[in-house]
Structure 1
């Protein structure tokens, strides 16, 4: 062992003791094969960032205003990039390559359990939103491509279709012990999101304002409803920041991507994260803006639902709906894997693979997610609750808290001060948003 190397990190037991200021423990375990390229890693991280949250951002803009939304989106994306920066610093200091392990290093076993529970709840919430989208969009996607009108058919029932798709597609893929080949299908997700954004921009000029109730009759709306609002403050504004936090959460994937990166230095991975977050920010902003400018205050909490009323049987809309559904369908098994891993860690700890526990945990997680998708009436409820709790913890609170616990820097240092700020922002946003959401439920059940 190279004990005299100032950039070498010694492993003692289950912990790493950094030596020197620029330790890179991930590079010390033998010669590495060539890893993923810069753009390949950035593309993978963008796939981890972008998901069903894109469908709820126009609704968030309608309740915060264009300028208010843009400022909030910029702040959340910047804080997401900074929290990634703190995670990468901790990775260099400790040699740890998983979020749960960082929790264990900071607070021993309780920290690991806390992070695992948070990841489990977060991923269950994410999967339920994906299945909610499948439930609401599949009937329209199927009937839209039919040349004749159909009524009362079984495939017009979203719940029936959701159960069938879960049993036929999601369950077999989720039962696999390894799911590396799904990386090929998930690589199409970003292309589908770009296609979605382009369609939202183009279709803005296909729906006039005041909004038509059908293709020939217009609603007698006040023309002021066709004027975009720059700033909006209401009880519904509480859903904005949690939805944004939900949309930028990629932190459980950052460290594994870091490990696979070719020449994995902190500066190189930070550039990957910055590029991924910036491109996701642009796609989010453009799709949210033009979605809002299409429907204004009448935008749905799940954007695609608005096109059903005003552009029935539009081929382009039907195509983008199908593209989103395919992206969502193949993403659910991918999100299921870390959720199942967290559940097994909580129930069994670090033990050998068992098909019995593997299958039982798979059925349990998918059943819970399916029930949430069936009985939750509105996707904004999932965005709001999950975003204000687990998303804010994983995005803001935990990176700051773990950095303060693990790092030996003085509290007045720049990074320590930033970690404190990140924690405070996460706690304030989470508590206030969840409180307002609960109050809105009580007042308008």
Structure 2
């Protein structure tokens, strides 16, 4: 294999760079680190919109779609964890490295990087808006007679926290943030569905479709499919989280990673399904796109739930931001030949937080765009791209169980990718007259 090995100096430079980059800087994570990071990534802005999605889908299709999404994405997550070290002597620390191992150096980058970066940026913008809106709801609930303050200013308050936290260097350095976020997700989810049960069914509850026209029902259904896709979008940071766990031939990283990932999916189930089912059960087709907005009393409990959401999305933002920082900083150092310095990190990270804050303030109706992004960008990376890579790499025997399972996931994911953007785009157009920039 003469000529294929890297010079010692190149290996040394690559090691130094890996010691500086966010994803590979620290490898002392454990299974419970994995669990908390995954909960922070999975349970986020999407959960509070699930009762609304269920109201557009109906009981049967809605619950079926959620169960299928839970099972399919758990399976594709297991695949990604298994493929982390499928190349002997190498760890595929980033999603695009997995793509490169399957499709080649250039094609793998072009397939994965645009999708992954769009998912991470779009999710952080959604967290930015969710954090700002929930801060406003907390303020308005605690002080109903106070002067009205624009959501824009609350988004700026939320962003100020991210300007500080974004300078934490690695996944393992944000473990305390992830733990707080995970505890908060369980707390506000429990408050949401328990309060719905306590409140009971509203008078004249209606479980018929929200739209009265056939076209409206069809497109609302499509949009809800995108909303569900968005709720199961944690795969974009799976390999990067696994990269923070130590690995040896005797104790590969996939064992603690899978333990943590499976635990996180139990938490996801306990959060998602009660919120979706009891939220829709209580309010029917009158439920708000954020179920907490439908709950007005008891006031102190609603205020607490909104503050819990704020704390949670603070942590979730960082889980999605760290791989984004890693990709951008790696590109700037390797391709543009910037020096890996604190100044570079300070500038790039502040610019990213400022960008997500600006988009969040300008388009505070970004929640309506989730259906579009959920299908177009989130479905491929979470639902079927891991299956395609699995088929390319392992080549399971045709018509075997593995072959059928992967093709089912691919077809299911492609359907989500097709339907979600159609419904989301139509919803954006219909609601465009109500949009207010910098509101």
TM-score norm. by structure 1 comes to 0.78
Q: CA separation in 1, counterparts of 2:362 and 2:402?
A: 43
Deviation readout 1:199-219 (Å, 9 max, x if unpaired): 2233225546546xxxxxxxx
Preserved contact between residue 372 and residue 423 of structure 2 (Cα < 8 Å): no
Deviation readout 1:21-49 (Å, 9 max, x if unpaired): xxxxxxxxxxxx99655555434432332
Match of 2:272 in 1: 284
Task: Please show how residues 323-338 of structure 1 align to structure 2 within 5 Å.
Answer: 323-338=308-323
Q: How many residues align?
A: 395
1:296 is aligned to 2:284: yes
**Superposition deviation, residue 428 in structure 1:** 2.4
**Superposition deviation, residue 58 in structure 1:** 1.0
Q: Which of 60-69 and 341-350 deviates more?
A: 341-350
Q: CA separation in 2, counterparts of 1:208 and 1:417?
A: 43
Q: CA separation in 1, counterparts of 2:398 and 2:263?
A: 30
Deviation readout 1:46-68 (Å, 9 max, x if unpaired): 23321111111111111112232
**Superposition deviation, residue 418 in structure 1:** 3.1
SS in 2 for 1:175: coil
- Pairing partner for 2:226 from 231, 242, 252: 242
1:121 is aligned to 2:118: yes
1:190 is aligned to 2:182: yes
Preserved contact between residue 90 and residue 406 of structure 1 (Cα < 8 Å): no
Match of 2:407 in 1: 420
SS in 2 for 1:370: helix
Match of 1:370 in 2: 357
Preserved contact between residue 55 and residue 209 of structure 2 (Cα < 8 Å): no
Q: CA separation in 2, counterparts of 1:109 and 1:69?
A: 39
- Compute the RMSD of aligned alpha carbons: 3.1
**CA distance 1:229–1:270, shift in 2 (3 Å):** farther
Q: Which of 314-323 and 233-242 deviates more?
A: 233-242
Match of 1:320 in 2: 305
Q: CA separation in 1, counterparts of 2:152 and 2:317?
A: 17
**CA distance 1:41–1:174, shift in 2 (3 Å):** closer
**Superposition deviation, residue 420 in structure 1:** 3.2
Q: CA separation in 1, counterparts of 2:62 and 2:418?
A: 20
* Structure 2, gaps ≥5 residues long: 7-25, 212-216, 433-439
Preserved contact between residue 202 and residue 282 of structure 2 (Cα < 8 Å): no
**CA distance 1:265–1:329, shift in 2 (3 Å):** closer
Q: CA separation in 1, counterparts of 2:421 and 2:55?
A: 19
Preserved contact between residue 38 and residue 261 of structure 1 (Cα < 8 Å): no
**Superposition deviation, residue 187 in structure 1:** 0.5
Match of 1:216 in 2: none
Preserved contact between residue 279 and residue 287 of structure 2 (Cα < 8 Å): yes
Match of 1:429 in 2: 416
Task: Please show how residues 242-261 of structure 1 align to structure 2 within 5 Å.
Answer: 242-258=226-242, 260=245
Q: CA separation in 1, counterparts of 2:331 and 2:323?
A: 12
Q: Indicate the structure (1 or 2) with the bigger Cα radius of gyration.
A: 1
Task: Please show how residues 56-135 of structure 1 align to structure 2 within 5 Å.
Answer: 56-94=49-87, 95=90, 96-107=92-103, 108-135=105-132
Q: CA separation in 1, counterparts of 2:187 and 2:241?
A: 25
Q: Which of 353-362 and 93-102 deviates more?
A: 353-362
Match of 1:200 in 2: 192
Q: CA separation in 2, counterparts of 1:42 and 1:238?
A: 31
- Pairing partner for 1:140 from 96, 112, 137: 137
Q: Which of 56-65 and 288-297 deviates more?
A: 288-297
Q: CA separation in 1, counterparts of 2:333 and 2:123?
A: 24
**Superposition deviation, residue 189 in structure 1:** 1.9
Match of 1:55 in 2: 48
Q: Which of 255-264 and 317-326 deviates more?
A: 255-264
Preserved contact between residue 301 and residue 379 of structure 1 (Cα < 8 Å): no
Q: CA separation in 1, counterparts of 2:256 and 2:142?
A: 46
SS in 2 for 1:51: coil
